[in-house]
Chain A
Amino acid sequence: MHFFSVIRWIAWKDLLSEYRNRENISSMFFFALNVILIFSFSFSLDPVTIKEIMPGIIWVAFGFTAIIGLGKSFLIEVNNDCMEYFQTLPVPKGAIYLGKFLGNLLFMLTVEVILFPLFVLFFNLDILDQLLPLLLISAVATIGLSALGTLFSALTVQVRAREVMFPILLLPLSVPIFIGAVEATRGALSGDAFSMYSHWIELLLVFDVIFVIVSFWIFEFILDY
């Protein structure tokens, strides 16, 4: 099978199975909805406070939904004995990683696109002018989160206490993503000029490039077992 068709088929398989059972997406969605509701009860909704705390709220919700979704990424493969099949695929194992990464990325972006209007609704945000930068920030931050999350999902799926280990490994190492995403989102929501926060997006891009390449290379060692 061709390298790129492996990537395409794995991503397609993941999205299709998620579309059919909607198990992950519903748990992620309702978790994030709870986070939004609890935050909207907890904080006063005056415009100054909202602008100050909103980036944090958005990325807490996205970050934790990512943990719920990405952590289970390889569980389905182990439960259905698909890991052996992956091991015997006659392509570089990195292609399997890229397929899973692409599936996770599209899946996470879908959840974020569904959640974003809820933030606007519950917190009375005025984001129409800043929609494009916000989408860009979400995309670059989610690429990094999916890259690292997919790798750690494969790493922890064969470990005892994987539900504990996945966030313990993922959260400290994704600190640059959260700092970059929160600061860039703060800039966008405050209506700053793009050039004032574009360095955060560049940092996120550097993180994305490094971790997609490193994970692609290192995935072979994980799949050997």
Chain B
Amino acid sequence: MVATHFIGKLRKFEKWFGIVAGVLIAVGLYTGLVTSSPDYYQGEVVRIMYIHVPFAQTAMLAYSSLFLCSIWYLWKRESVVDNACHAAAGLSLFFTAGGLLTGSIWGKPTWNAWWVWDPRLTSFAIMFLTLVGYLMLRTFLDDKEKRATFSAILAIIGFIDLPIIHFSVEWWRSLHQPLSVSTRGVSIAPDMLIPFTLMSFGVGLLFTYMLMVRTQMLYLEHLLEAKQGRLLNEGQG
């Protein structure tokens, strides 16, 4: 009952998230890539920021939602929540890979290296490996409940480990530029801030939309498998 209610809500709201995300990303990309001014130091290269930073932020958002869904699953044991975990993990991997790739492309002209052992980069690389491990663990477990529980445990452990990883690498070496937008204020030109904000919200909403659609897909797959199982049992009976 809870699952059908939950899926019903997702079906009802998903398209609005998709539409708003599409509009924000379209306007954000136009203002970011066409109308905003190039950076004083970095020139045109800075425009990759409008893709890279929203991807990296959304990867964090996706991993946080995986963490919250995992806790929710261990608490309530609803299979639809496990579907949401699975969906969030795949999307988190996608956005993490996107963040790493665009960061690497940005790193070459600005740091003159495709890769450096910087705290944020290393944390993201380890997050990427953890997510690959998470999805592999899911494929190697056949029992549904065991798969859901074990992968939730791994997601929680991985999430708790992230700040420690970040902290350890920060002590080890640091090169990344400080955050441009933080609680201490904004250090970014206004005509760059508008596309940047639009893209951040747009990609965030795109993730939410993808999460809603993917969760429904996985839930339907789950229902189909259950139905096939029942038919098989009836056939044998």
Question: Which of B130, B132, B153, B161 sits near A218, CB closer than 8 Å?
Answer: B153
Question: Which of B126, B157, B167 sits near A151, CB closer than 8 Å?
Answer: B157
Q: How many residues of B contact A (CB 8 A)?
A: 32
Chain B residues with Cβ below 8 Å from A225 are: 143, 145-146, 149-150
Question: Which of A155, A169, A175 sits near B165, CB closer than 8 Å?
Answer: A175
Chain B residues with Cβ below 8 Å from A200 are: 171
Chain A 167-188 near chain B by CB (<8 Å), digits 1 or 0: 0110111011001100100000
- The A contact surface, by secondary structure, is helix
Contact A179 B172 (CB under 8 A): yes
Question: Which of A180, A199, A221 sits near B153, CB closer than 8 Å?
Answer: A221
Contact B160 A175 (CB under 8 A): no
Contact A176 B165 (CB under 8 A): yes
Given A159-B137, A159-B140, A173-B130, A218–B156 Cβ distance below 8 Å?
A: yes
A107 to B193 Cα, complex, angstroms: 56
Chain B residues with Cβ below 8 Å from A199 are: 171
Chain A nearest CB: distance from B140 CB in Å?
5
Chain B residues with Cβ below 8 Å from A175 are: 122, 126, 165, 168-169
Chain A nearest CB: distance from B211 CB in Å?
24
Asked if A222 is at the interface of the complex by the 8 Å CB criterion, the answer is: yes
Contact A165 B156 (CB under 8 A): no
Smallest CB gap from B132: residue in A: A168
Task: List chain B positions with a Cβ less than 8 A from chain A.
Answer: 74, 122, 126, 129-130, 132-133, 136-137, 140-143, 145-146, 149-150, 152-154, 156-158, 160-161, 164-165, 167-169, 171-172
Task: List chain A positions with a Cβ less than 8 A from chain B.
Answer: 148, 151, 155-156, 158-161, 165, 168-169, 171-173, 175-176, 179-180, 183, 199-200, 203, 206-207, 210-211, 214-215, 218, 221-222, 224-225
